[in-house]
Amino acid sequence: MEITLDINGDRQVLDLDPRTSLLDALRHHLGLTGSKKGCDHGQCGACTILVNGRRINSCLTLAAMHEDDEITTIEGIGRPGHLAPLQEGFVRHDGFQCGYCTPGQIMSATAMIEEAREGWPSYVSPSLEGDIELSDEEIAERMSGNLCRCAAYTGIVQAIREAAETREAAE
Amino acid sequence: MRPFDYIRADAPATATKEAGAGARYIAGGTNLLDLMKLEVMTPERLVDITRLDLRDVERTPEGGLKIGALVTNSDLAAHPDVRRDYPVLSRALLSGATGQLRNKATAGGNLLQRTRCYYFYDPAQPCNKRDPGSGCGAIGGFNRIHAILGASEHCIATHPSDMAVAMRALDAEIEVEGADGAGRRIPIADLHRLPSDTPQDETTLAPGDLITAVILPPPAKNTFQAYRKVRDRASYAFALVSVACVLRMDGDRIGGVALAFGGLAHKPWRDPEVEATLTGESPSDDLFDKAADTLLREAQGQGGNDFKIPLARRTLKAVLREATQTEAAA
Ligand SMILES: Cc1cc2nc3c(=O)[nH]c(=O)nc-3n(C[C@H](O)[C@H](O)[C@H](O)COP(=O)(O)OP(=O)(O)OC[C@H]3O[C@@H](n4cnc5c(N)ncnc54)[C@H](O)[C@@H]3O)c2cc1C
Ligand code: SF4
Ligand code: FES
Ligand code: FES
């Protein structure tokens, strides 16, 4: 079937089997291999992308379900020479070893920082109301959908905390 | 994944018309696609309902809340009215899955998600739920996550939802539109079934029934509400045992209480006798033990899940102590 997708601001027309996951459409049909396939079952977060600004697992959804949606992948966040602050932070804080989980971590953290700014509580938030302070505990809970096989978690949390603070200071 | 026809519905009436035999609705897809990849579920037709106008959370004339079937788990957990008036529901939602999954998962899909029983997930294993009559791999097999209440000799699976447990404690009603276009409401107590001798029939819905909303009654005033979830990891794991509690004190006595349990049975578990044991009494550890005795009077372990019997007791007591501000007995 013919499917039109809006990816990183570009309109793409694809001829796809209805079974094609959004992740496979990105990687195999559009050559956008920044999004990774770890488990293909929604368990690891390596395939995390943004749909209309919200983070989702692209392996657990069909490309056909996302016509008219605004899709952002790691390629749309920053490129070599023009890195996003979170990407620079991951480099500075050693937020990775093999790098396989990294695009998913960065996409997830990008949306997570906005969720916290909108006041979304998490399971570890002491109160369901009021402002959210992104403590290490809050970051760990909110990022629990992104696994890192190399266990670079210390650097990942530092990079995210710094990016959240920079974002706050910029207001 | 087996091939299927993909149809996008633009109104509830077209959705129910397209959903004949062999069809399934797809909402967030986080459970259905997972199971289709493993060929545990093999629908011939998928009716995409994500374009339906069922994404609002509205006040009902009675002062309750009407939650559209497509409201995401994230939006529902963060909704100001839910956080203020139904905190047990926010907490239950936030305890489930991950940020990414909650952004996709919907209220309707969450209610109808299927068990996480390992044998159900593996088409090479016997499972009466996936393949009626093939036997139950979990009985006599690995059954750490399985039921201790309401199970049958045909199936000992548990319902995995956290959200549904909170909705059970809140006496939610499910609004359904049938294939004939007629609407009806089902109390959540009557939505899910016990396995009996037909574990493949998980709910009382008919094929083609579309969940359009979940209705919450007006919020109970001056209540303590909590959702306590015990699991194998600190985050991102299904409940071994969970308790949703809505409790009101009347002076130094328990004025009223609703308790629903996850991880124990094929459906969110609620037992009026447990609540009757507690109502009107002054809180104490002895009283809480009596409530646990009542809850677990017919509990049966399967070997791997025997630990759930004492765990359910301790989790219930911990929640009741917190709710009534009672100290543990020395
Ligand atoms: C890795 C992982 C971890 C998870 N952890 C947890 C957890 O800790 N706690 C928890 O509670 N859940 C957990 N989940 C499950 C998750 O909550 C469910 O997958 C989700 O809620 C299902 O909602 P959905 O909208 O994606 O449903 P779908 O996958 O779209 O649908 C599920 C079923 O419901 C039917 N359906 C959907 N909407 C309707 C409707 N409106 N009317 C009629 N039928 C409908 C579909 O046909 C399908 O049979 C986890 C899932 C994953 C993948
Ligand atoms: S417990 Fe139920 S779902 Fe699991 S193998 Fe037995 S019949 Fe299947
Ligand atoms: S590849 Fe999508 S969550 Fe693992
Ligand atoms: S850096 Fe290797 S998996 Fe995270």
> Are the Cβ atoms of A57 and B87 closer than 8 angstroms?
no
Q: Is B82 helix (H, G, I), strand (E, B) or coil?
A: helix
* A167/B170: higher pLDDT: B170
Question: What residue spans in chain A does CATH classification 1.10.150.120 cover?
Answer: 85-170
B48 near A65, Cβ under 8 Å?
yes
What CATH code is assigned to A85-170?
Answer: 1.10.150.120
CA distance B49 to A31: 29
- pTM for the model stands at 0.98
Residues 6+ apart with CB under 8 A from B72: B28, B102, B103, B104, B105, B106
Per-residue pLDDT at A168: 82
Residue B326 has pLDDT above 90, yes or no: no
pLDDT band at B327 (very low <50, low <70, confident <90, very high): confident
Residues 6+ apart with CB under 8 A from B133: none
Residue of B nearest to A52 (CA): B103
- Identify the bridge partners of residue B214 per DSSP, sorted by sequence position: B67, B174
Decide: B302 in ligand 1 pocket, CB within 6 A: no
Tokens of B253: 């006595």
A62–B contact, CB cutoff 8 A: yes
> Average pLDDT, stretch B263-276?
98
Burial of B179 (0-12, 13-18, 19+ CB in 10 A): middle
Q: What is the ipTM of this complex?
A: 0.98
E strand or H helix that includes residue A10:
strand A10-15
Question: What residue spans in chain A does CATH classification 3.10.20.30 cover?
Answer: 2-76
| Residue range A2-76 in CATH 3.30.450.90 | no
Sign of CA dihedral B226, B28, B81, B15: negative
Q: Is B25 helix (H, G, I), strand (E, B) or coil?
A: strand
A145–B contact, CB cutoff 8 A: yes
Which domains, from first to last, does chain B contain?
Answer: 5-49 (3.30.43.10), 224-329 (3.30.390.50)
pLDDT band at A167 (very low <50, low <70, confident <90, very high): confident
CA distance B315 to B240: 11
Order the strands of the B45-48 sheet from edge to edge.
B5-8, B45-48, B23-26
Query: Which one of the ligands is nearest to B101 CA?
Result: 1
**What's the whole-number average pLDDT of chain B?**
97
> Are the Cβ atoms of A145 and B98 closer than 8 angstroms?
yes
For A104-113, what is each residue's pLDDT tens digit?
A: 999 999 999 9
Tokens of B181: 């276009």
- Name chain B contacts of A18, Cβ cutoff 8 Å: 3-6, 46
- Identify the bridge partners of residue B230 per DSSP, sorted by sequence position: B241
B99–A contact, CB cutoff 8 A: yes
Q: How far is A80 from chain B (nearest CA, A)?
A: 26
